[in-house]
Homo-oligomer: A and B are copies of this chain.
Amino acid sequence: MVVELISVGTELLLGNIVNTNAQFLAEKCASLGLSMYHQVTVGDNRERLAEDINTALQRADIIILTGGLGPTEDDITKEVCAEVMGFKLVEDPHTRERIETYFKNSIYPVITENNWKQALIPEGCKVLDNHNGTAPGLILEKAGKAAILLPGPFNELKPLFLDAVSPYLQELQPEVIRSQMIKICGHGESQVADQIKDLIAAQTNPTIAPYAKTAEVHLRVTARAADDETAKSLIKPVVKEIKNRFGDDIYTTKEEETLEMAVVRLLKKYELTVTTAESCTGGLIAGRLVNVSGASEVFREGFVTYSNKAKRKILDVSKGTLKKYGAVSEQTAKEMATGGVFATDADVCIAVTGIAGPSTEGDKPVGLVYIACYMKDKVKVEEYHFKGNRDKIREQAVVKSLDLLRRSILANYRG
């Protein structure tokens, strides 16, 4: 079953808002096993909207239209879709009553003439009650095709989709689709692709899709089958093979787990607390850790020591080290990590010092970053040469720091 998405609204074409509806609907459709080949965004223009609906009805079984169901002049989705599919608009007494009730309890109790426009529906269509607004969802069925119309505001669209559209689509779908995520840190996208090119070349069902993230690569293994059991058994050997090839480079196989969540999970598992000593990353590592709900169990305090003076005062980095090797050096990173542990009662400290640019420091290049991890009376330091602008360098340094912390825990504590 093929589904196509049409987002209606000039505000999308002007870039006034991000189309988060499309992401939500695409993900939900994928999880229902529907194939989506095209998403289209079009403005509040009759001719162009009609053209896009026609095209979509030719190449898809189901089309989902969002937006343009409001009461104003430029809300035209329902009218145009009904016309293209050959439906007459008639007043729906049930919807009219719902509009009346809605306004009665609202802070704007006056019902203007154009509000009644929302009680008009394509004759014979399915009406999906909207509990968060006045525009109902609508399903128009004709000649083996279906058009599903949903209001644009996300807080109206989301419950309508989950409560009414999702069950409708599930019934139409004979196949089950299941996917498994594998998240890898420590390789670039092309390195990952290279290591599994034989698997990718051989793929039919399941498929393997790589997603490049900053200093991470995510692989999604997806299978289709008649039932859940079969889908899972198709995925299993492929995931096992990928795990064999990447080992500890894989930080999680859970869809929703981020790198910082994996790190906090390991810290909790081994009952460790961590502190941070950040220079060029300026608090972003701490920010990522605190992003994890429940991080307070493992993270109590952290330091941003941007100046040399702060490195000396807070982390006890020696004047001699700063003078001899400079703030961006292996030696300073080591002393920062050690100082972080001694300044707190944490078991572990992750420290970062580097040059995010745009200007260099002496003969040291932009992108040079040292990351140190103090654990069990030992400090491990890594030297990196990151590419990109200030943001990108800092982002990569944050990911590599969290990953060094993760690998250090595995190396020191795993049985």
Contacts and interface: CB of A to CB of B under 8 A. Distances in A.
B193 A72 contact: yes
Given A72-B190, A188-B108, A285-B283, A19 B15 contact: no
A55 to B, nearest CB: 8
Contacts of A29: 15
Nearest to A41: B39
A3 B412 CA distance: 56
Interface string A389-407: 1111010100010000000
Max count, chain B CB within 10 A of own CB: residue among A25, A71, A107? A107
Given A189-B70, A283-B276, A310-B301, A358 B293 contact: yes
B52 A38 contact: yes
A53 B392 CA distance: 31
Contacts of A12: 22-23, 26, 39
Interface residues of A, number: 114
A209 B114 CA distance: 17
Contacts of A190: 70-72, 112, 114-115
A300 interface: yes
Interface in A281-315: 281-287, 289-291, 293, 295-296, 299-307, 309-310, 313-314
Contacts of A344: 310
A137 to B, nearest CB: 16
B22 A41 contact: yes
Given A16-B220, A304-B276, A108 B283 contact: no
A74 B212 CA distance: 13
A223 to B, nearest CB: 14
Nearest to A13: B36
A293 to B, nearest CB: 6
B302 A283 contact: yes
Contacts of A166: none
Contact of A18 (B19, B37, B40, B105): B19
B290 A304 contact: yes
A197 B296 CA distance: 46
A150 B152 CA distance: 29
A102 to B, nearest CB: 7
A241 interface: no
A37 B45 contact: yes
A211 B290 CA distance: 29
B107 A73 contact: no
A178 to B, nearest CB: 13
A276 to B, nearest CB: 7
A194 interface: yes
A344 B307 CA distance: 12
A387 interface: yes
Contacts of A400: 107
A200 interface: yes
A278 to B, nearest CB: 7
A226 B209 CA distance: 49
Interface string A9-37: 01111111111101111111110000011
A245 interface: no
A22 B20 CA distance: 11
The listed residue with most B CB atoms (<10 A of its CB), out of A37, A131, A191, A295, is A37
9 contacts: A12-B26, A15-B24, A15-B26, A16-B220, A73-B193, A112-B191, A114-B190, A133-B388, A301-B305
What are the 5 tightest A-B residue pairs by CB atom distance, in nearest-first order?
Answer: A282-B290, A283-B283, A15-B27, A15-B26, A283-B286
